[in-house]
Structure formats: structure tokens, C-alpha cells
Amino acid sequence: MRRLYMKYRQVWIGLFVIACLAVIVYVGVKNQKTLHSDITSKTYAGQAMGTAVKKTLFGESETTLYDVSEQIDDCLQEFENQVSVRIPDSEVSLCNKNYALEGFYPLSPDIVEYLQKEMDLYESSNGAFSPCIRPISELWGIEDGNTEVPDDEAIQQTLQHCDPICIELQDGGIVFHEENMAIDFGAAGKGIAGDKVYQLLTQSSVSGAVISIGGTVVVYGDKGNGKEWHVGIQNPRGKDGEAFGVLDVDGGNIISTSGDYEKYFEKDGKRYHHIFDPSTGYPVDNGLISVSVISKDGFLSDALSTACFVKGLKDGMAYAREQGVEAIFVTSDKKVYVTEGIKKKFRIQDDAYELKK
């Protein structure tokens, strides 16, 4: 009798454990579904850094999402007011207008830090990236709608005012050793802005976000499902917002794209765009039409997309690997080359393009 009792007791204990496990699994699934159903999303559009801004935020409260969107706008506006050459009284504009040759001009610590990063990239890229190409940009005037090609003599004369060797960074400021120079964050500013926005997001309650600042895209967290983001890469020969491929990427990355399609004009069958070769003063013409760089560092993603574009396909690919970033290169014949780390995460969506192995 005792044996029979023990046998039934073990059976009942086993059934009880199974029932408990079933409840735990059910509650776990139910809670997970509840978590997902509580996540909402809102998309906000605007303008900053001289370009379109789109913010898609995910979280549990629309009020919170709106507040974070406003904080992002304030963050971008504050940074733009500091560095934009389009704003006459920005810190960078005032520096360019008011510095005295061989004189010390004071700058805020973060501006000096950004300039030092640009100078470091100038050296590591062997001059493919320049923090002081602004005089050439102004001569061409492509950003302002000019459609005339400057004469070569004017270009060569202007290049004399664009040599980074003539910039000396000191603690708390800068010294220019050449007249008519100008510093500019046009090739790295949106990436720096992306870094600032990402830092803001880490201090917020949003669960995920995708924020585009022109050609720079910030991906943060997730949608509440733990999955990768699917980021479209702009078709360099398509309409604005039209993707030729999709990249699967985890939150915590910033993707920046530089291309000959952003600001350009065509004359006598030739395209003249806003990405200049610092060694020639002319728009880059090396067979590339687009370069995207993926990095956890927004400054690097933006600045390296320009540097790699200037370097060309072979040297640009090598430089991207050297800098520890992933990249997507598109050539004028619509061939696409990607670095090793994203070969399984990037796919073509437009049959006009061919992914090279």
C-alpha cells in the first residue's frame, strides 16, 4: 500500500511541476506580447544642418516620443548654430571672418576637438580628407546653385588657401599661417550631429529610433522585438528616398553616405558635384558615384564616406578596412562592392545594380 501511495505521490508531483512550467511559459509569452503591444512609434519630419531630418521613434508613450523629438531638434539647432558656415554669427563663421594672420583665435574646446579629429583624418588619409576645403567650395558655388566651371587659374590660386599644413591647433584655439583660409565641418558635421543625437537617445526612455540627418542615418535600440534594423541605401541614380539596396544593422550604428548626386550640375555632358579632391580643386572623378560607411562613431562614418569617395574604389576599400569600418561602394557602371563584414547583411533591391563578390 505504501509503495502504491509513493507511486501516486510521484505522479502528482510530476503533474504539478509540469503545470507550473506551463504557467511560467504562458506568463512569459503573455508578458512578451504585452511588451510588444505597448510599444508605439511616431515619425517626425523637419529641417536641420541644411538638410531634411526624419525621426522615427519607438517607445511606450506618444507624449514621451514627442518630447524626445523636440529635444533632438533643439540639439541639432544648437550644434548648427555653433558650426554652420551658413549662419553668419556661428562660432565657425566668426572664426573664418575675424581671425588674424599668425594670431591666436580662441575656440570652444569641443570645436578644437572636432578640428583635431579632422586633422588626424587628413593625415591618415594622405590628404583625401581636408578640414579647410571651404574656399574651393565657395569658388565653385555648387551649393548655391552656380552652374559655371571656374577657370583653372582661379582654382589653383584658391588651392593655396586650402592647405591644412597652414592650420595650427593650440590649447583653446587656432592659428592660421595663411590668408583667406576657412575651416568647415561640411564633410563631418552631420556625423558629429549623429553622435550627439545618439548620446541624447541613450539618456531618454525610447526603446528604439531611426533618425536620418540628410545622408547620415542613426539607428538606436530596436522596435521592442530585439531584431535588426533594415536601412535602405539611397539609389545614387534614383529619386530622393529611393533605395537600391538594404542593409541589416544592429542598433548602435551610424551610416553615412556621400555621393555625386547630392549637389551637382551638368555641363557639356559632364557632372560637376560638391565632393572635391583636395589635391586638384576639382570635383572627384574616379568612377565612384556613392560611398556609404557604417560605424559606431558618427564622425568617422561621415568623414570616412568622403575620404573613401575621394580615394576611389581600391584605395578606399583598403582605407575603410584600415580604419575598422564597413563600407558600400557604388561605381558609375552600377557595380556594388562591400567590405567583408557586411557581405551577408546587404542585399540589392534594384536589378539595375550588381553586387560583386
Q: What is the pLDDT of residue 357?
A: 83
Whole-angstrom distance, CA of residue 298 vs CA of residue 249: 15
206, 65 Cβ separation under 8 angstroms: yes
- CB-based contacts of 6, cutoff 8 Å, min separation 6: none
Q: What is the pLDDT of residue 191?
A: 98
In which residue are the cell numbers 544592429 written?
Answer: 250
CATH hierarchy code of domain 228-357: 3.10.520.10
- The pLDDT, as a whole number, for residue 10 is 47
HEC per residue, 227-283: CCEEEEEECCCCCCCCEEEEEEECCCEEEEEEECCCCEEEECCEEEECCECCCCCCE
Q: Yes or no: say if 271 and 282 are a contact pair by the CB < 8 Å rule.
A: no
CA-based radius of gyration for the chain: 26
d(CA 295, CA 258) in angstroms, rounded, equals 14
Please write down the HEC assignment for all residues of 111-160: HHHHHHHHHHHHHHCCCCCCCCCHHHHHHHCHHHCCCCCCCHHHHHHHHC
CATH superfamily of the 99-176 domain: ApbE-like superfamily (1.10.3980.10)
Domain spans in the chain, listed from the N-terminal domain onward: 99-176, 228-357
d(CA 270, CA 192) in angstroms, rounded, equals 32
Phi first, then psi, for residue 103 (nearest 5°) are -100, 155
What are the residue ranges in the chain where pLDDT is below 70? 1-37
- Look at strands 354-355 and 335-338 and give their pairing: parallel
Rounded Cα–Cα distance for residues 215 and 206 (Å): 23
Rounded CA separation 216/42 (Å): 20
Q: What is the reported pLDDT for 31?
A: 34
For cell 510599444, the residue is 39
Q: What are phi and psi of 297, to 5 degrees?
A: -110, 110
Torsion of CA 155, 285, 164, 302, to 10 degrees: 130
Could you please report the per-residue DSSP string of 172-185?
Answer: TEEEESSTT-----
Name residues whose C-beta falls within 8 Å of residue 81's C-beta, 6 or more positions apart in sequence: 87, 90
Q: Which residue has the cell 558656415?
A: 85
| Backbone angles phi and psi of 325, in degrees to 5 | -120, 165
Q: From CA 332, how far away is CA 330, in angstroms rounded?
A: 7
Predicted local distance difference test score (pLDDT) of residue 1: 44
Task: Give the pLDDT confidence score for residue 131 in this predicted structure.
Answer: 97
Q: Grid coordinates representing 180?
A: 583667406
- What digits encode the pLDDT tens for the residues 5-38? 444 444 444 444 333 333 333 333 333 333 455 8
CB 96 within 8 A of CB 183: yes
Nearest to 170 by CA among 119, 105, 122: 105
Name the DSSP letter for residue 74.
Answer: H
Per the confidence metrics, is the pTM higher than 0.95? no
